[in-house]
Every structure is written in structure tokens, then in C-alpha cells.
């Protein structure tokens, strides 16, 4: 049995019916939701019969071909399985171009629907007119690209690698043209060359003062830029060692799967209309990802943190979904919250910031019994133990792990140097600590 019930956000169907488009439209025009095919009214999974791949394609075609305006990026179709029974979940986001209606019937109560409780109702004319007046006109689809001599070889390669067949209608199918046939801003973002700068900054300390790396992954298709940023963040994700003798444990600096979701969300849902790109910043104690635009007005902070999705850039969402850079809609935030607290998200009028504290901060170091020098303080013994484990460790990292201020670390290091127990070799940023006087593991 399903762990959800039929309500304003969930609809159960034993099979695909003639009313399917009306159900989809009702979710698009309300607050989004899910339609389950192969589930009875009681929530029992009965499964679907026949060719499930064909059924998936049929569902996608009916949504794409029979509903207006365009639903690109607003839905996802996934196959689920319980025991030997397979069933289908259609995830539908709230549309930003409401009212949605059945193609060929116009915007009338006979073709516009809303969700009320667990049922659908026709949308009255006054509601239709109100929705039309509030419809968002300024979208990336309607903004003309600043360049028209665009090429898309990178994008085509990514699609071909996923098994898609590229034809002459490829760019049109991705909705990369304005109504008058010019390349739109989505096309500009996805093209081989643009002037969008997407930077990754790395700082030596905990504030944006000592910049030690500043890489630009932009000026190319944002799909390629996304992959390059993810590669960089994965490379930076080193192991931390928990030194609690005789036991030794290792943990990654951050949960890459959660960070990956934040990176993709920041790029796909960024407000590109102001030409500001997301920011990716790594400090000595945290990774910070900021995207422009804030959350959509129709979504509350609470709904956002529950995973309800209202795509800002549905055409970009479609591309990222096709290329498996995003999974089911709305799961990104939920995936992040499996590993990090809701306090990781900060909401501002013009941007959203997600902070990932490094796992290193979870470690509280004990005395190192088998290397302990009775003439030293506990902090000094701990400093030596950490230097033995990680000769390149910085004073800032020592300060965080031992939970003391930097001056305390500097004072104790000076003492250890003066009495000949440690020395420093190499450059300031790339040197190493050498522990002397036979203090070995």
C-alpha cells in the first residue's frame, strides 16, 4: 500500500484514462502534485500491464502534445517497483504560465481545470482572466540572445552520449527560439561560446580575504560548465582523518551527492535574466553556493524545504533532466536535507545561499596516549599528534579542530619550535611540519 493518500497533491489511477490531460492541467494550474498509474483508490499498488516503456512514452507525448502552453521542464515520468509490481509516478510542478488548457479548445472552463481537495474542478472565466493578467511574460524563452551566430556541438555530443538522435528540429524541440525565430537566452546559455562567467573561488581562511584560487568555468555551454564545476568540487573533497588512537577513521570533507544537487539547482534555477551567474566559494571550513533570484513568489520557504518545485527556467530544467544532471523534480532539496540541516539554507530577497560546513569540524581530538609527552600541555600534545598525521596541516585548521583561537595555536607552536620539538620546512603555504625528538607513532 502507498504511504500517501489521495489529496490535493496526489491522484491514484488504475490505468491511463481519457481524463488524464485534465488531471495534469489541474495540478499545473494549482500547486503541482503527483499522479500514480497502477494504484487503486485505496492506495493499493496493483501494477500496470503490458509494455511499460511504451506507456511512459505515451504519457509524455500526451502531456507534451495535448496541453498548452508548453509544459517542457514541468513534469517527470518515473517507473517505480514494489515486489513484482511496477507502477508509474508522474511528478508535476506548478506551472508559471497558467492557465494551462487542452490544446485546440482555448482558455475556457471546458479546458482549464484546478485541483480542489482530491478532485478537479473547471476554472471559472473570472479566474482564467485573472491568471492571464498575472502570467509571467519575461522569461528566458522570450529574451533574445545577445549573439545570433551560435553553435551547439557540445550540447549535441552530450545528447548523443545519452542515446538521443539529433535531427534538424533538435534546437526547436528544446525551445531555443523566440516567437520570431531568433535564438533566445536559453540558447545563449547552452551554446558552445558565450560571455557568461561562472567562477569557483577558494580562500585560505574563513573569510573572503586571502584568495588562493580563482577559476572561471564559464564562457561555454552551461552544461559543460556544470560538469567542470562538479569535477572541481569532487577533486577538492579530500579525506579527513579522525585520530583517536588506537582507532583511526576517515570521512570525506563533505557529502558530494548533496553538494552535487546544490550545484545543479543553483545553475538551473538561477535568475539568468539579470546576467549574474551563481557563485561557488570554498573557505577553510565550508563550501558556499549562492544563486540569484530567491525562491519563486508562489512558493513559501516551508514548501521549498519540503521539496515542492516551481522551475524558474523550465527549458533548462528539461535539458538537465534529459542529460541526467537532475533526477526527479523537487528531490534536490530533500537529498541535501538528508545530510545537512535546514539552517544550511539562507533566503534573501535576491538570492539563495547554501552552506556546507566541512565534516572536519565534527572531530574533537583527545590526547594521544602513545605519543604523549608529560612535559607538554594537552593542546601541545594534540598539535604534535595532528602534525604527525598531517604534516601540511595549517594553523587555521588546528584552531578549528582543537576549538581554540588562532593566537593560542601560534603561541603553542612557537613554544614547540623554541624547545626543539617541531620545525617548519618549505614555503609558507606549501611547507610541512617536522616532529623531532623521537616523538613517533
Mean pLDDT over residues 56-72, rounded?
91
Instruction: Report the pLDDT value the prediction gives residue 142, as an integer from 0 to 100.
Output: 82
Strongest mean pLDDT among 16-20, 307-311, 371-375:
16-20
Digit-coded pLDDT (tens) for 184-203: 999 999 999 999 999 999 99
User: What is the pLDDT at residue 13?
Assistant: 95
- pLDDT at position 134 is 63
Q: For the beta carbon of residue 434, count every other beta carbon within 10 angstroms.
A: 14
Which is higher by pLDDT, 248 or 117? 117
Q: How far is CA 285 from the centre of its chain?
A: 21
**Average pLDDT estimate for 272-301:** 86
Q: How far apart are CA 204 and CA 344, in angstroms?
A: 21
pLDDT score at 221: 97
Average pLDDT of every residue of the chain? 86
Please tell me the predicted confidence (pLDDT) of residue 367.
39
- Residue 69, pLDDT above cutoff 50: yes
Within 8 A by CB and 6+ apart from 311, the residues are: 73, 74, 93, 96, 268, 269, 317, 329
The mean pLDDT value for 231-243 works out to: 79
Q: State the Cα–Cα distance between residues 115 and 123, nearest whole angstrom.
A: 10
Place 229 in a pLDDT band, splitting at 50, 70 and 90: very high
Lowest average pLDDT, out of 244-253, 279-288, 290-299, 318-327, goes to 244-253
Query: With a threshold of 0.85, does the pTM exceed it?
Result: no
Q: Which three cell numbers stand for residue 189?
A: 546559455
Mean pLDDT for 394-411 is: 86
Please state, as a whole number, how many other Cβ atoms lie within 10 Å of the Cβ of residue 268: 26
Cell numbers 609527552 correspond to 373
| Element containing residue 92 per DSSP (H, E) | strand 85-92
Query: What is the model's pLDDT at position 379?
Result: 86
Please give the pLDDT value at position 230.
Answer: 95
Neighbouring residues of 53: CB distance < 8 A, sequence distance ≥ 6: none
Share of the chain above pLDDT 90, in %: 53
Show the domains of the chain with their CATH numbers. 10-135 (3.30.950.30), 199-361 (3.30.565.60), 366-435 (1.10.10.10)
**How many contiguous H segments (helices) and E segments (strands) does the chain have?**
14, 18
Average pLDDT of the segment spanning 372-376: 72
Quote the Cα angle for 169-181-144, to 5°.
Answer: 115
Confidence category of residue 329, pLDDT binned at 50, 70, 90 = low
Amino acid at each position: 500500500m502507498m504511504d500517501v493518500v489521495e489529496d490535493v497533491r496526489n491522484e491514484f489511477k488504475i490505468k491511463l484514462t481519457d481524463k488524464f490531460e485534465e488531471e495534469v492541467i489541474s495540478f499545473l494550474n494549482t500547486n503541482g502534485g503527483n499522479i500514480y498509474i497502477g494504484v487503486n483508490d485505496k492506495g493499493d499498488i496493483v501494477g500496470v500491464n503490458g509494455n511499460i516503456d511504451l506507456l511512459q512514452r505515451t504519457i509524455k507525448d500526451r502531456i507534451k502534445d495535448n496541453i498548452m502552453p508548453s509544459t517542457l521542464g514541468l513534469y517527470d515520468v518515473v517507473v517505480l517497483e514494489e515486489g513484482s509490481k511496477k507502477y508509474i509516478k508522474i511528478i508535476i510542478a506548478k506551472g508559471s504560465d497558467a492557465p494551462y488548457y487542452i490544446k485546440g479548445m482555448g482558455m475556457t472552463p471546458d479546458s482549464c481545470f484546478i485541483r480542489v481537495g482530491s478532485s478537479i474542478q473547471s476554472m471559472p472565466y473570472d479566474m482564467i482572466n485573472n491568471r492571464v493578467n498575472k502570467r509571467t511574460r519575461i522569461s528566458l524563452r522570450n529574451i533574445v540572445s545577445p549573439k545570433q551566430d551560435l553553435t551547439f556541438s557540445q550540447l549535441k555530443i552530450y545528447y548523443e552520449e545519452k542515446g538521443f538522435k539529433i535531427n534538424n528540429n533538435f534546437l526547436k524541440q528544446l525551445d531555443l527560439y523566440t516567437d520570431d525565430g531568433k535564438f533566445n537566452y536559453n540558447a545563449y546559455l547552452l551554446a558552445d561560446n558565450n560571455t557568461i562567467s561562472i567562477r569557483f573561488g577558494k580562500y585560505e581562511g574563513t573569510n573572503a580575504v586571502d584568495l588562493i584560487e580563482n577559476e572561471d568555468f564559464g564562457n561555454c555551454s552551461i552544461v559543460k560548465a556544470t560538469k567542470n564545476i562538479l569535477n572541481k568540487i569532487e577533486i577538492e573533497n579530500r579525506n579527513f582523518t579522525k585520530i583517536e588512537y588506537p582507532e583511526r577513521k576517515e570521512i570525506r570533507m563533505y557529502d558530494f551527492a548533496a553538494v552535487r544537487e546544490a550545484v545543479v539547482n543553483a545553475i538551473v534555477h538561477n535568475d539568468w535574466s539579470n546576467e549574474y551567474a551563481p557563485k561557488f566559494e570554498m573557505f577553510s571550513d565550508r563550501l558556499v553556493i549562492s544563486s540569484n533570484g530567491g525562491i519563486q513568489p508562489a512558493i513559501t520557504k516551508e514548501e521549498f524545504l519540503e521539496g515542492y518545485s516551481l522551475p524558474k527556467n523550465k527549458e533548462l530544467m528539461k535539458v538537465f533532466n534529459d542529460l541526467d544532471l537532475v533526477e526527479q523534480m523537487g528531490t534536490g532539496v530533500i537529498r541535501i536535507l538528508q545530510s545537512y540541516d535546514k539552517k544550511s539554507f539562507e533566503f534573501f530577497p535576491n538570492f539563495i545561499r547554501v552552506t556546507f560546513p566541512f565534516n572536519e569540524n565534527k572531530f574533537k581530538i583527545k590526547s594521544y596516549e602513545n605519543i604523549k609527552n608529560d612535559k607538554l600541555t594537552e593542546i601541545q600534545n594534540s598539535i604534535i599528534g595532528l602534525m604527525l598525521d598531517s604534516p601540511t596541516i595549517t594553523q587555521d585548521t588546528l584552531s578549528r579542530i582543537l576549538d581554540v583561537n588562532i593566537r593560542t595555536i601560534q603561541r603553542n607552536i612557537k613554544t614547540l619550535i623554541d624547545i626543539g620539538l617541531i620545525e617548519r620546512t618549505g614555503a609558507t603555504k606549501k611547507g610541512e611540519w617536522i616532529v623531532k625528538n623521537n616523538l613517533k607513532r
